[in-house]
Every structure is written in C-alpha cells, then in structure tokens.
Amino acid sequence: MSVAIQELETCNFSDHETGRIDCKACETGYPRRCSCGTSGLIHAEIVKVQGNGYIQLSRCDKCGLPG
Ligand SMILES: [Zn+2]
Ligand SMILES: [Zn+2]
C-alpha cells in the first residue's frame, strides 16, 4: 500500500501535546520514548486513507522521525 506524501502531511499531529507522556490524542500504547536521545516522544494516530482503509502514523515530537 502506498500513500501520497501530501496525504501524510495533512496529518500534522497538531492535536498532540508535545512532551506530554499522557497525550490524549495518541492511540493506545503511545506516546513512546524515542531513541533519538533528545527525550522526544513518539506520537501515533490512526488516519483514514481514501480507498485503503486506515493506516497508523507515528512521529517523534522532537526529531520528527516515525517511531
Ligand atoms: Zn500524541
Ligand atoms: Zn526522536
């Protein structure tokens, strides 16, 4: 399954609370500690993809990389 970059960018994690381990916008089991070494937290949410159902996106609130 491939997803257009543009679609991914519409999920900007703006509802997430940066630096909060108890972020309410995250899926169950998140946020998680990132291994980037900057005490970042990996946030995750389920995003609906047109025609393809759902995918889970995750991103560190410090380094910006997926978990
Ligand atoms: Zn979050
Ligand atoms: Zn990170």
Q: Which tens digits make up the pLDDT trace of 8-60?
A: 555 678 899 999 999 999 999 999 999 998 889 999 999 888 887 988 999 99
Look at residue 66 and tell me whether its pLDDT is greater than 80.
yes
- Is position 43 within any domain? yes
What's the pLDDT at 8? 54
CA of 31 to the centre of ligand 2 (A): 11
The mean pLDDT of 62-66, rounded to a whole number, is: 91
Q: Report if residue 67 sits inside a domain.
A: no
Query: Which domain covers residue 53, as residue numbers?
Result: 5-60
Helix, strand, coil % (nearest 5) of the chain? 5, 30, 65
- Amino acid 52: pLDDT: 79
Q: Which residue has the tokens 């609370």?
A: 17
Number of domains in the chain: 1
Is residue 39 in a domain? yes
In this predicted model, which residue has the larger pLDDT, 15 or 5?
15
Which ligand places an atom closest to the C-alpha of 65? 2
Query: Is residue 66, in this structure, part of any structural domain at all?
Result: no
Distance 22 CA to ligand 2 centre (A): 17
